[in-house]
Amino acid sequence: MHQPKSYAILTNNTSQTRSIIDKLLVNMPIPALQQLQDLKGLLFSRSEIDRFMDEEERHDIKILTKETQQSLKTMSSGEQKKALLRYLLQQEPDFLVLVNPFDNLDVATQAQLKEQLCDIASSKIVVQLVSRLEDILPVTTDFFKLDGEQLYPYETAKAFWEENQGQAITFSGNIPQPLQALEATDTELVKFEKVSVSFDGRQVLDQIDWTIKRGEFWQLIGPNGSGKSTLLSMITGDSHKAYGQDLTLFGQKKGSGESVWDLKKKIGYFTPAVTDKFQGYHSLEHMIISGLHDSIGLYVIPTDTEKRLAHEWLKLLGLYDKRANHFRDLSAGEKRLIMMARAMIKHPPLLILDEPTAGLDDPSAALFVDLVNKIASESDTAIIFVSHRKEPGLHPQFNYILNVRDTGSIGRVGLP
């Protein structure tokens, strides 16, 4: 049997990805992909998982998790993706549209999924929409680039690879200083001592010891389901599992009467999903200044000093000329740079970056990583960077590595 077509479409920050997906799924004609016109296609993407999660939460309709008690929301990214793929294959589609399929997955799960997708591609048409070159399946037969709404086909694989191997861009200038010097905090910002966590009788974390000190740059590494989000939510005050544990945050023992609000003021938090909350018409200048007021968008008139500071950040990011533009009109990569400036404007004692490069194309991810390195070296802010990918160019001082065991994940400190 001859191998069906496997299409790879490389997307960048200008790509109208949603529009091409919609056309593919409702069989609207796409000249370069005529073969798919009358075929049934299904979507494998983060947005589909979110949609099913929403169905569960709001309407109590369990589709992907029919066979388990656990809700989709509490599953790890790997478990969620497996459940979605299984469900899609049961529907026997003619082709699958895969959108950044390896995002949020650890290295081992990525490798398993890659093998499974290559296997599927040997008998079924797949259309990959990917922003990272390393995600393109080796079985790919036809290559494209999506600029805006325009789909450009390549004559050969060689022509595609030659044109798209990117070069790095870097920042020049230092990161702006805060309006007020960083509040004097204890040297130890976070201290887990023999912290164990269980869900429904199953132990997920086993005797975690982890101390994060002022100004340190950590990468938190662990396979899907190893408990990374659980650890982060204990630090940010979003998990009740933190109570009764030997956990000290900014010098205060957990459960000793601190308010979640006080805690949140000390932590800058960024995950790509946060950008989706900013749907209003906020200018870039106001978006950055809103970080000083802990608000989503700006609802007070900014002072001249605040504006000057925001302008310094915009200049550093190369976005000063766009300062009056609306945040919602920026590219995905630009939005993340602005969100980083917003999270950093006060130089919080701790900055948490939860898979911050997911979904970005290679040049935008490289630029983002460059900004993180810069913040780490030019400020007293401690950073926790969570990512499954070995981001080329990221320079953490330490790794905190979770290893999964039957009795819960154990943690150890490793040097990068």
Q: Are 407 and 206 in contact (CB under 8 A)?
A: yes
- With respect to ligand ATP, which residue has the nearer C-beta, 200 or 321? 200
Q: Is 227 in the site for ligand ATP (CB under 6 A)?
A: yes
Measured distance CA(295)–CA(317) in Å, rounded? 22
The tokens describing 5, both together, are 């077509």
Residues 182-201 touching ligand ATP, rule: CB under 6 A, are 199-200
Query: What's the gap between Cα 157 and its chain centre?
Result: 29
- With respect to ligand ATP, which residue has the nearer C-beta, 197 or 332? 197
Residue 201 carries which DSSP code? T
Q: Is 356 in the site for ligand ATP (CB under 6 A)?
A: no
For 374, phi then psi, to 5°, come to -65, -45
Counting beta carbons within 10 angstroms of the beta carbon of residue 315, is it exposed (0 to 12), middle (13 to 18) or buried (19 or more)? middle
| 15, 229, 379, 387: which one binds ligand ATP (CB under 6 A) | 229
Q: Is 37 in the site for ligand ATP (CB under 6 A)?
A: no
Q: Is 101 in the site for ligand ATP (CB under 6 A)?
A: no
Size of the site for ligand ATP (CB under 6 A): 16
Residue 123 carries which DSSP code? T
Measured distance between the N- and C-terminal CA atoms of the chain, rounded to whole angstroms = 46
Q: By CB under 6 A, which span of 32-40, 115-123, 217-225, 372-380 interacts with ligand ATP?
A: 217-225
The tokens describing 38, both together, are 């009358």
Question: Which residue in this structure is represented by tokens 């968008």?
Answer: 297
Q: By CB under 6 A, which span of 75-83, 143-151, 156-164, 270-278 interacts with ligand ATP?
A: 75-83
User: What is the Cα gyration radius of the chain?
Assistant: 22
Q: By CB under 6 A, which span of 48-56, 72-80, 183-191, 357-365 interacts with ligand ATP?
A: 72-80
Q: Is 226 in the site for ligand ATP (CB under 6 A)?
A: yes
Fill in the amino acid letter for 122.
S
Contacts for 26 with CB less than 8 Å, ≥ 6 apart: none
| 10, 45, 48, 78: which one binds ligand ATP (CB under 6 A) | 78
Q: Is 275 in the site for ligand ATP (CB under 6 A)?
A: no
Query: What's the gap between Cα 355 and its chain centre?
Result: 4
- With respect to ligand ATP, which residue has the nearer C-beta, 65 or 224? 224
DSSP lists the bridge partners of residue 396 as none
| 47, 68, 74, 303: which one binds ligand ATP (CB under 6 A) | 74
- With respect to ligand ATP, which residue has the nearer C-beta, 233 or 252? 233
- With respect to ligand ATP, which residue has the nearer C-beta, 74 or 187? 74
| 99, 127, 204, 352: which one binds ligand ATP (CB under 6 A) | 204
- With respect to ligand ATP, which residue has the nearer C-beta, 226 or 364? 226
Q: By CB under 6 A, which span of 132-140, 154-162, 222-230, 260-268 interacts with ligand ATP?
A: 222-230
Measured distance CA(128)–CA(142) in Å, rounded? 10
Packing angle, helices 332-344 and 304-317, rounded to 10: 140
Measured distance CA(297)–CA(284) in Å, rounded? 10
Give the burial string for 106-129 (b: 16+ CB within 10 Å, else e).
beebbeebbeebeebbeebbbbbb
| 75, 96, 289, 317: which one binds ligand ATP (CB under 6 A) | 75
Q: Is 140 in the site for ligand ATP (CB under 6 A)?
A: no
Measured distance CA(285)–CA(326) in Å, rounded? 9
Question: Which residue in this structure is represented by tokens 């056309």?
Answer: 23
| 225, 302, 349, 411: which one binds ligand ATP (CB under 6 A) | 225
- With respect to ligand ATP, which residue has the nearer C-beta, 72 or 366? 72
Q: By CB under 6 A, which span of 2-10, 30-38, 137-145, 220-228 interacts with ligand ATP?
A: 220-228
DSSP lists the bridge partners of residue 8 as 128, 143
Chain contacts with ligand ATP (rule: CB under 6 A): 74-78, 199-200, 204, 222, 224-230
